[in-house]
């Protein structure tokens, strides 16, 4: 089999790239190890930056998002019970974020690809990539017992942090920058109405908590936990008690609305970047090249900005045979990636309790809150990063 761009992975990066290439008249095949049902049911984050919302709308994949998603113009920061609203829109010239779950974005992208004749091979087995530095890099996999060789002009490695693409690059050619955090997030879905119209990022002596939403009936909440926490130790009543304790505030008559918990899971937290994001004719995008801790919800949005740059570079190549944008792909993406890494690391540090950190550290974190909420310059810095920096920033 032959295609112009072989894409490994049907996550946000792979599917969006495939659709952007289609709109530019470039052929692609997406090869994915998981099933469509599995992809469409996996619970991930749910905050889309303004630029992500604009892009999905522009390419005709934003209709359901606009109908069912929630446009938020601000967030609440809550530190030791003190509440402060960051007015994202006022501070960024009208930008906002959309709360719309990642797996809903994936459903929309899969539908868009299938509606326009796109090829997605689900449940491919034994996927491997080779001849990466030749003119015909190849993806090999098994489907229904048959071995398929997909010969490509280019391969996009969009197969996440556990995928096969990054490990196919000789390790001596990659620099890996990594940081592990000594905590995780305990995430739940609860069948309850929203407790808040905007997201609450909360710091308490017992640790971080986040109140987010999915719909008028389903809420998404997280709290900082041990990375090895066993969900069996957390019956519903204990979870609600922990969340109530951390979110308690004497300001206003705010109350956490509880309900049956329908899903529980622990999310690890780390930062990782590989440089460069290219080897021969293999280009890494999204989680295959970088991981951010979830605070600030940059993961999906970074995948989107990577593939925007890659789609433009590939289009330029097919139009003019000019490789300059492909040659610049890694450096262009990394500038934005490192800014998102900085922001995610900063939000994480400001909002979490580190094991062994003392009362001095907590005072510094409270001072940071005072500064971020009291200074227009500092609030603006948070807001412009939160809604998303421009593509070429």
42 vs 320, which CB is nearer to ligand DHB?
42
Of 201, 222, 290, 352, which is the active-site residue? 201
33 vs 189, which CB is nearer to ligand DHB?
189
Of 12, 19, 22, 72, which is the active-site residue? 72
Contact 156, 17 (CB under 8 A): yes
Tell me the window of 14-22, 147-155, 235-243, 290-298 that interacts with ligand DHB (CB under 6 A).
Answer: 290-298
Tell me the window of 39-47, 134-142, 257-265, 301-309 that interacts with ligand DHB (CB under 6 A).
Answer: 39-47
DSSP for 21-71, please give it. Answer: HHHTT--EEEE-SS-HHHHHH-----EE-HHHHHHHHHTT--HHHHHHSEE
d(CA 207, CA 212): 17
Cα-only R_g, the chain: 21
Tell me the window of 24-32, 45-53, 154-162, 359-367 that interacts with ligand DHB (CB under 6 A).
Answer: 45-53
Residue 298: active-site member: yes
Residue 386: active-site member: yes
Of 95, 220, 279, 352, the residue at the interface with ligand DHB (CB under 6 A) is 220
Based on the shown chain and the rule CB under 6 A, indicate whether residue 199 belongs to the binding site for ligand DHB.
Answer: yes
Of 296, 314, 352, 389, the residue at the interface with ligand DHB (CB under 6 A) is 296
d(CA 238, CA 255): 17
Of 137, 298, 329, 352, which is the active-site residue? 298
Number of residues that bind ligand DHB (CB under 6 A): 11
Based on the shown chain and the rule CB under 6 A, indicate whether residue 341 belongs to the binding site for ligand DHB.
Answer: no
39 vs 300, which CB is nearer to ligand DHB?
300
Site mask for ligand DHB (CB under 6 A), range 154-193, x = bound: ----------------------------------------
Site mask for ligand DHB (CB under 6 A), range 248-287, x = bound: ----------------------------------------
138 vs 212, which CB is nearer to ligand DHB?
212
CB of 199 to ligand DHB, least distance (A): 6
Strands 290-291 and 270-275: antiparallel
d(CA 349, CA 152): 43
Q: At which residue do the structure tokens 């992208």 appear?
A: 109
In terms of phi and psi (left: phi > 0; alpha: psi -120 to 50; beta: otherwise), the region of 132 is alpha
Based on the shown chain and the rule CB under 6 A, indicate whether residue 46 belongs to the binding site for ligand DHB.
Answer: yes
Q: Where are the alpha helices (DSSP H) in the chain?
A: 12-23, 36-41, 50-58, 63-68, 88-91, 102-115, 236-247, 299-320, 324-351, 359-374, 376-387
Based on the shown chain and the rule CB under 6 A, indicate whether residue 243 belongs to the binding site for ligand DHB.
Answer: no
Based on the shown chain and the rule CB under 6 A, indicate whether residue 385 belongs to the binding site for ligand DHB.
Answer: no
Of 5, 15, 33, 47, the residue at the interface with ligand DHB (CB under 6 A) is 47
Based on the shown chain and the rule CB under 6 A, indicate whether residue 295 belongs to the binding site for ligand DHB.
Answer: yes
Based on the shown chain and the rule CB under 6 A, indicate whether residue 212 belongs to the binding site for ligand DHB.
Answer: yes
d(CA 387, CA 31): 31
CB of 214 to ligand DHB, least distance (A): 7
For residue 105, give every residue at least 6 positions away whose Cβ sits within 8 Å of its Cβ, in sequence order, or none.
Answer: 12, 48, 56, 61, 65, 300
- Minimal CB distance residue for ligand DHB: 212
Long-range contacts (CB closer than 8 Å, 24 or more residues apart) made by 66-72: 68/100, 68/104, 68/215, 69/98, 69/99, 69/100, 69/104, 70/98, 70/99, 70/100, 70/213, 71/96, 71/97, 71/98, 72/96, 72/97, 72/98, 72/99, 72/197, 72/198, 72/199
CB of 31 to ligand DHB, least distance (A): 28
Residue 12: active-site member: no
d(CA 311, CA 347): 30
What residue ranges bind ligand DHB (CB under 6 A)? 45-47, 199, 210, 212, 220, 294-297
Q: Which residues belong to the active site?
A: 72, 201, 294, 298, 386
């Amino acid at each position: 089999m032959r295609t112009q761009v072989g894409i490994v992975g049907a996550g946000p990066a792979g599917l969006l790239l495939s659709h952007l290439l289609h709109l530019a008249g470039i052929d692609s095949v997406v090869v994915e190890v998981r099933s469509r049902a599995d992809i469409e049911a996996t619970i991930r984050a749910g905050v889309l930056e303004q630029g992500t919302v604009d892009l999905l709308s522009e390419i005709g994949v934003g209709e359901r998002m606009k109908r069912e998603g929630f446009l938020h113009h601000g967030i609440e920061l809550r530190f030791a019970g003190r509440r402060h609203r960051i007015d994202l829109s006022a501070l960024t010239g009208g930008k906002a974020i959309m709360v719309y779950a990642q797996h809903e974005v994936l459903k929309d992208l899969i539908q868009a690809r299938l509606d326009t004749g796109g090829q997605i091979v689900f449940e491919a087995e034994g996927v491997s990539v080779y001849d990466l530095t030749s003119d015909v890099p190849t993806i090999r996999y098994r489907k229904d017992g048959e071995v398929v060789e997909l010969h490509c002009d280019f391969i996009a490695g969009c197969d996440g942090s556990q995928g096969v693409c990054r490990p196919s690059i000789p390790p001596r050619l990659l620099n890996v920058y990594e940081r592990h955090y000594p905590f995780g997030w305990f995430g739940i879905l609860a069948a309850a109405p929203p407790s808040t119209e905007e997201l609450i990022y909360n710091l308490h002596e017992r640790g971080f908590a986040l109140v987010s939403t999915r719909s008028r009936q389903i809420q998404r909440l997280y709290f900082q936990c041990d990375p090895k926490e066993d969900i069996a130790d957390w019956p519903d009543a204990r979870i609600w008690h922990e969340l109530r304790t951390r979110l308690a505030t004497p300001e206003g008559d705010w109350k956490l609305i509880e309900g049956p918990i329908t899903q529980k899971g622990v999310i690890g937290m780390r930062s990782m970047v590989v440089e460069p994001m290219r080897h021969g004719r293999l280009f890494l995008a999204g989680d295959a090249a970088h991981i951010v801790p979830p605070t600030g919800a940059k993961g999906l949005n970074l995948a989107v900005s990577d593939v925007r740059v890659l789609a433009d570079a590939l289009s330029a190549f097919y139009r003019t045979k000019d490789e300059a944008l492909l040659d610049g792909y890694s450096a262009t993406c990394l500038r934005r990636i490192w800014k998102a890494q900085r922001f995610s690391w900063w939000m994480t540090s400001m909002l979490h309790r580190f094991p062994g950190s003392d009362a001095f550290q907590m005072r510094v974190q409270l001072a940071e809150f005072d500064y971020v909420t009291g200074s227009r310059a500092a609030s603006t810095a948070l807001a412009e990063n939160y809604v998303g920096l421009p593509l070429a920033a």
